[in-house]
Amino acid sequence: MTTTPSVDGAEAAGVPGPHPAPGPVVVGPQDSRYGELARGDNYRFVGAPDQIELVGSTGQVADALGRALAAGKRVAVRSGGHCPEAFVADPEVKVVIDLSLMSRVYYDPELNAVAIEAGATVGHVYKTLYWNWDVTLPAGVCTAVGMGGHISGGGYGPLSRLHGLVADHLYAVEVVHVDQGGQVRTVIATREPDDPNRALWWAHTGAGGGNYGIVTRFWMRSPEATGTDPAGLLPKPPASLLTAMVNWSWDQCDLPAFSRIVRNFMGWHVENSGPGSPFAGLFASLWVRHRSGGGLTMFVQMDSTAPDAAGKLDAFLAAVDEGVGVTPFVIRNELPWLTASRYMGQGDSGPVMGARIKTKAAYLRGVHTEEQIATLYRWFQREDYFGRESLMMLNGYGGAINAVGPADTASVQRDSVIKAAYSASWGNPAEDDAHIAWLRGLYGELYADTGGVPVPGDLADGSYINYPDIDLADPEQNRSGVPWHELYFKDNYAALQAVKATWDPRDVFHHALSVRLPEEQMTYPTAHIPDHYDFESIYAGKGKDAGKESGKAAGEEKAPPVQPWDIGRPQPALVAVHASGAVVGDVLDVGCGLGDNAAFLAGQGHRVTAIDVAEAAVQEGRRRAKAKGVEVEFAVADATRLTGFEGRFDTIVDSACFHALAADERERYLVALREASRPGATLHMFCFAQEFEAPFPGPHRHTAAYLREVVGGVWNVVSVEPATFSSSLGVDDISAMIKSEYPDGDVDPERLAGLALDEQGKATMPVWHVTAQRRP
């Protein structure tokens, strides 16, 4: 398939017939529906977007995305709204594109697959597939989850041991994305080996949502399926299920009994979870609730059509009960499949109850140690904590899941036997800290031997991106030294980054745990970039980075060199920021260079202090300000140590200073700026963007994700948006610079001829404009 422009209406939806697609519906803050739509399932997080757009077709998605980009607004997408972290309800998100109106499920003869729109819920998909064609997908038990995030993150459920992950049945995906030039495009990517877009399909089999674009449709067809009858394209569910619910009260369970139950449950799965296991049709989930909310409950289901199904269920129950020494309460039944699929009771309860949620997860390869089991017992028995809805779920895994190779899909964990989930749920906002502290304490102690997280090894294998946990990216919580992305994606991460670079090169779609752009996505080799720049020598014309000299006749005194950043006027990007009203009060221009930005701001009525480490630059800045008739306080100062400037500024402007700093200086620099600012101050930072092709060699370039992380460690990041900087370099200047920097390389004249030039014929450089607020 090739990239195609977006289309609208019923054609975009791929649905035969004259019925138009629903939507779009635009809901703003004054709309009575806004309070409902500004939040998802987790009431801990309430967004404040300028608008929510409920869309009904791929074309409407593309239109909404295009308008948001044109307005410079950050976008997030929502299908079912069940993400437990604030990936959508983020203060930076100004437009939420809600796919809940896109819920069609139908057979598409062109791709010979069942099409599922991304806003369809698990429950709706179950019913539609079952009633129409007597087929299903091995999806989850929470029927209100949207398929957009469920499939993208891999997706699993009670039939996964029998039929694999939901993503194992994904044939094709439709994605609305933004290309290198900022244009909105729509692409369909399939799993066909000769599809040039196949890597995009692969990335949607386990990397999670919010990484590459907006998924509007999935096409599902099992890899082994043949023919064109939709009744033969996906797995058939069992006609009925044998079910059992087993309950042990905490009054029955002292530590030895608890330990025996947990070890028996986990040990059985270690022995019976290989590909082709005769027990693949059996799924079990052990729920351990805090003592204030109950005891231990085990839900079990068995495919009733499997050979000796009742005997296999009996054998499992006996294996878990062996040596426990207490008699549990047991209910057994046989139920039709669709009814039984809901017996674990996972409905759409979050918003109804106003639930506030925190979750964590782990893939498990082996049985917990006695020390780990004792840790679990101690935390679930704590009498100084009341957590009626706080629990651990040990969910059966493996079977058909583990018949797929770790690199065949983006779901890399393919030899685990249990998927564990740990969660707390409560209603009172005043209890947030207590519940989160309890969950962090349990998880951190459970995996204390590996730095507080389930590092891949003999017993664990990382975490599950559909149960996202931003603590894994926090070095205070993750002390393992293993980065969060390795816990989620392991060796697949580099390939996921390559897909990111191809399909979302501008990092339009991002969140706290999204796939980052490759750090080495540079147009020019980086070996020439020094750790520290000697700007005094550069301004004096003594180094190779001294810029281009003005022409003078032989014997004449040379004029100071013209630097690439010396455009003789304020940067247009900064002028635009000022015009928007975002520069207020007393201003610090840090790394001011030759002072044109400072002079401009002073001319607009601001009291401006401008500092630079190079005395030559400061002297020239004073001269230029005087020539313009404006007053600026200039000073020679190290921007990483702003002693004497504490608490003075309402706005700080960094016009291409940060990217000239060495790695060990950056945090110290950001702290110094914070100390120099007043409460409520704003930082505007312009930094060379690594995501986009650079027209000329330069200092360090950084990704938007890196800037959010580093700046966000000291300041509250409001936005990271693309902007453009002007330079003093024409095509000939750049050609000479490249030949000087890389004498052994050739300059591609065609590439240079296509450079983006400003109105003065000078090359422009893509930058990130970071806006951040001072942290109290």
Q: What are 117-163's pLDDT values in tens digits? A: 999 999 999 999 999 999 999 999 988 999 999 999 999 999 999 99
Using alpha carbons, list the distances in angstroms from residue 684 to 7, 597, 637, 687.
38, 13, 19, 10
The residues near 770 (Cβ < 8 Å, ≥ 6 apart) are 683, 684, 685, 686, 687, 707, 708, 711, 717, 719, 720
Q: Which helix (H) or strand (E) holds 615?
A: helix 615-628
| E strand residue ranges, 251-326 | 282-289, 296-303
| C-beta pairs of 639-645 under 8 Å, 24+ apart in sequence | 639/590, 639/591, 639/611, 639/613, 639/669, 639/672, 639/673, 640/665, 640/668, 640/669, 640/672, 641/668, 641/672, 642/611, 642/672, 642/673, 642/675, 642/676, 645/588, 645/609, 645/611, 645/676
Residue in 487, 464, 484, 491 with CA at minimum distance from that of residue 408 = 491
Q: What is the pLDDT of residue 725?
A: 85
- DSSP β-ladder status, 608-612 and 170-178: unpaired
Q: What is the pLDDT of residue 761?
A: 77
Residue 138 φ/ψ, nearest 5 degrees: -80, 60
Beta bridge partners of 765: 725
The verdict on whether omega for the bond into residue 24 sits within 30 degrees of 0, i.e. cis, is yes
Residue in 160, 425, 178 with CA at minimum distance from that of residue 275 = 160
Size (the chain), residues? 776
Report yes or no: 601 and 650 within 8 Å, Cβ to Cβ.
Answer: no
Could you give the dihedral angle defined by the CA atoms of residues 89, 483, 156 and 398, in that order, rounded to the nearest 10 degrees? -170
Residue 348 φ/ψ, nearest 5 degrees: -90, 70
pLDDT under 50: residue ranges of the chain: 1-18, 348-352, 521-529, 542-561, 746-747, 749
Q: What are 523-551's pLDDT values in tens digits? A: 444 444 455 555 666 666 644 444 444 33
How many other CB atoms are found less than 10 A from the CB of residue 446? Answer: 26
Report yes or no: 765 and 698 within 8 Å, Cβ to Cβ.
Answer: yes
Does residue 451 come out as left (phi exceeding 0), alpha (psi in the -120 to 50 range) or beta? left
CA–CA distance, 362 with 417 (Å, rounded to integer): 11
Place of tokens 């459970």: 446
Using alpha carbons, list the distances in angstroms from residue 567 to 331, 597, 722.
79, 11, 20
Q: Which helix (H) or strand (E) holds 724?
A: strand 716-726
In one-letter notation, the amino acid at residue 134 is D
CA–CA distance, 441 with 32 (Å, rounded to integer): 40
CA–CA distance, 290 with 294 (Å, rounded to integer): 7
The residues near 110 (Cβ < 8 Å, ≥ 6 apart) are 14
Place of tokens 């002073």: 602
Residue 387 φ/ψ, nearest 5 degrees: -140, 80
Alpha carbon 130 to chain centroid, angstroms: 33
Both ends of the chain: CA-CA distance in Å?
A: 51
| E strand residue ranges, 118-256 | 170-178, 184-190, 214-220, 240-248
Beta bridge partners of 289: 391
Q: What is the pLDDT of residue 552?
A: 36
Alpha-helix runs per DSSP H in 414-561 = 432-446, 484-489, 493-503, 535-540
